[in-house]
Amino acid sequence: MLKGIHVPLVTPFAPTGFAPGVTGEVAADVLGKLARRVLDEGASGLVALGTTGEAAALSPDERAQVVEVCAEVCRERGAPLTVGVTGNDTRSVLGALEALPPDVTAALVTVPYFLRPSERGVIAHFEALADGTPVPLVIYHIPYRTGQAVSAATLRHLGAHPMIAGVKYATGGVDQEALDLLGDRPDGFDVLGGDDAVISPLLAAGASGGILASANLAPRDFADLAAAWDAGDVTRARALGHRLTRLSAALFAEPNPTVIKGVLHARGVIPSAGVRLPLLPASEASVAAAEALLDR
């Protein structure tokens, strides 16, 4: 279910003017076209309501609309749909999981943020969710956003639960804990790279795939990268990896997803580069730099 490249889609907004932070309603038809495009170009699945989709800035009705559009496309294409579920208290997260629509394949759930529980608390949190969730869980391990580091031993312990399918691993690099986890994964537990710029070495070390914002723009190239490492085609994988690392660095030169949306808009894929406050649109220089790398 989790193998390959899964794309956390941006949420396109209708243009309403040029004031920073002013955006229109969700452009649902454009979202559907983008979802079909990335799947048709090699992505293995979609992720709705991730950080890249500005989920925190969407109203409940908008979040439901995004999931509905993505679910329809995934039904058409026979692809898995993972939905981001955030929260830092166990009861509210479990309620959100129980409310997921039936077409959702898995839920991407962050390690509890701000509260910074002990690792025993993290284990208790995810075990309680796993015991009650209607869909498999993917742990979102991103300590530079949550303020909570989780060890390979904790992830390995949680991965033994039948309703915990994997982890999106985004610690900012390929660290010793990542190698420890990849060297001894529980059966059926997938490790997905979540830091676009280092996806190639993580795949080389044995990751199952990735959840990559950059794949909004280059889904075929990232899918080819994953396939090359899976096939043991080291020469091709290295060349692709070096090129895509430079592209990802440019796309993250400003806060995600501002540069990605700027490039998508410049290429006529989405109707506006607008993002919602507190994000601001990317600079013209950052968008131009990313476009130049994409053209190569």
Q: Hunting for tokens 């509210």 — which residue is that? A: 92
**Binding residue numbers:** 52, 211
CA dist., res. 171 & res. 140, Å (int): 10
Structure tokens at 20: 């920073």
Residue 271, SS3 per DSSP = coil
Q: Annotated catalytic residue: which of 33, 140, 144, 261? A: 140
Do residues 31 and 53 lie in contact, with contact meaning Cβ atoms separated by under 8 Å? Answer: no
- Known catalytic residue at 169: no
CA atoms within 13 A on the CB side of 265: 24
Do residues 215 and 174 lie in contact, with contact meaning Cβ atoms separated by under 8 Å? Answer: no
C-alpha torsion 60→64→65→71, nearest 10: 160
Q: Annotated catalytic residue: which of 33, 113, 144, 168? A: 168
- Known catalytic residue at 140: yes
Q: What angle do CA 169, 254, 8 make, to 5 degrees?
A: 40
Q: Please choose, from the candidates 162, 163, 161, 201, the residue with its C-alpha nearest in 3D space to the C-alpha of residue 182.
A: 201
Catalytic residues: 140, 168
